[in-house]
Structure 1
């Protein structure tokens, strides 16, 4: 059995470890991070060349099932995976960690896009902690606020004129996030609803400090694609022969 796992997320690595070595696993990473954490099993890095390229790769390498374990905001890849799996006539599962849920005391401002997030900053404060990754900073390029941008790799221009870049990789601790908000005198946090525990302490720290949080909602997954909420559930789907949720 050969399973193709798309994505370099924490869940993708955990799934590869759960299946290997009993199942042949190939993990495909986009190559956007300079030094990614590599999973066990076979690894390929780089794009496929769109839907047709991915479908051709699946057929050429005799893939029995595809698991989309990309980041919840990798919308283009998720839709490409759905079309490619249908073209190649192989089952597809989307592994999606649950999104975050607001708690008592949270001051969330849900928005539908990075552009909406930039507009939502008006009146919330002058010092912004931006944790949406290094892609998409152009949406904030014309904002007058000061930004602390945290990402794994250095972001590309355009970006806000008043920007300090912090290169760091999770998981992050609650004490560390408390100190960061205090040290940089943060007024407002901007984040995507990535879910998971690795980066959630910033939400707890913002709640304690009474800081508003602009939260970009997740894009939808392709219609009709089966989902699993954990690597364990995805591994069970593989072991059952791709039957059930």
Structure 2
């Protein structure tokens, strides 16, 4: 049996490891946007397939039995291509999606539909921004000249960037104590994040709650309707029952 895992996430690596240990031939596909990615078990390919037609042809050529889309919740284009390509090739598709974050008591969350909407909210919420939305799409904040930004991402971001900013290159997981110290040390008064979900980067939300800071949360984009699970164990069961 051959399974293609569209990955790059911690869940994708865990799934590849579990399937590989059970003797399933796993090919993990990484987008190649991170310079030094954490590699999963099994075979790894880096880069795109050439759109829907390219992926559909690749699935047929390699006689893939199933595809698991375990990409980041905001990898919208990859998810759409996977849905269209598997439909064309007649290959079963499963979406492995970590649950989104939910506000708790004491949280001051402001939801935004996209990064542009998040940027519009900021001037009314604070002046020193901790921006943790990744290195793509930062142009949405480039025009906010009166605000100062601490931009955290894995690899260096490309311009345009906000005029007043500092870039912090770092990779999770993060701890609450460290996030609290980071927010206080840089005098942050508002946090911006995507609803990535999971525990690796959730500590900043706890720290913001403890410090009474407002948080702008960007909603997840819609995904095509397909079979979906939230846990790696469920995805393993799905694959083994194909």
Whether TM-score is above 0.5 comes out as: yes
| Aligned with residue 218 of structure 2, among 213, 216, 219 | 216
Q: CA offsets, 1:144-199, max 9 Å, x none?
A: 21000000000000110111000000000011000000000001000000000000
Deviation at 1:110, TM superposition (A): 0.4
| Aligned with residue 178 of structure 1, among 177, 180, 200 | 180
Q: CA offsets, 1:82-118, max 9 Å, x none?
A: 0000011000000000000100000000010000000
- For residues 143 and 60 of structure 1, the distance between their equivalents in structure 2, rounded to whole angstroms, comes to 49
Partner of 1:23: 24
Aligned partner of residue 110 in structure 1, secondary structure: strand
Report matched runs for 1:148-167 at 5 Å: 148-167=150-169
Partner of 1:11: 11
- For residues 229 and 17 of structure 1, the distance between their equivalents in structure 2, rounded to whole angstroms, comes to 17
Aligned partner of residue 122 in structure 1, secondary structure: helix
- For residues 100 and 199 of structure 2, the distance between their equivalents in structure 1, rounded to whole angstroms, comes to 10
Deviation at 1:221, TM superposition (A): 1.4
Deviation at 1:126, TM superposition (A): 0.7
Partner of 2:103: 102
Partner of 2:241: 240
Aligned partner of residue 20 in structure 1, secondary structure: helix
Partner of 2:63: 62
- For residues 200 and 52 of structure 2, the distance between their equivalents in structure 1, rounded to whole angstroms, comes to 31
Mind listing any 5+ residue stretches in structure 2 that lack a counterpart?
none
Report matched runs for 1:81-120 at 5 Å: 81-120=82-121
The number of residue pairs the alignment matches comes to: 240
- For residues 121 and 92 of structure 2, the distance between their equivalents in structure 1, rounded to whole angstroms, comes to 40
- For residues 235 and 87 of structure 1, the distance between their equivalents in structure 2, rounded to whole angstroms, comes to 24
- For residues 195 and 167 of structure 1, the distance between their equivalents in structure 2, rounded to whole angstroms, comes to 20
Aligned partner of residue 124 in structure 2, secondary structure: coil
Name the TM-score, length of structure 1 as normaliser: 0.97
Deviation at 1:135, TM superposition (A): 0.3
RMSD, matched Cα: 0.6
- For residues 90 and 199 of structure 1, the distance between their equivalents in structure 2, rounded to whole angstroms, comes to 33
- For residues 140 and 49 of structure 2, the distance between their equivalents in structure 1, rounded to whole angstroms, comes to 27
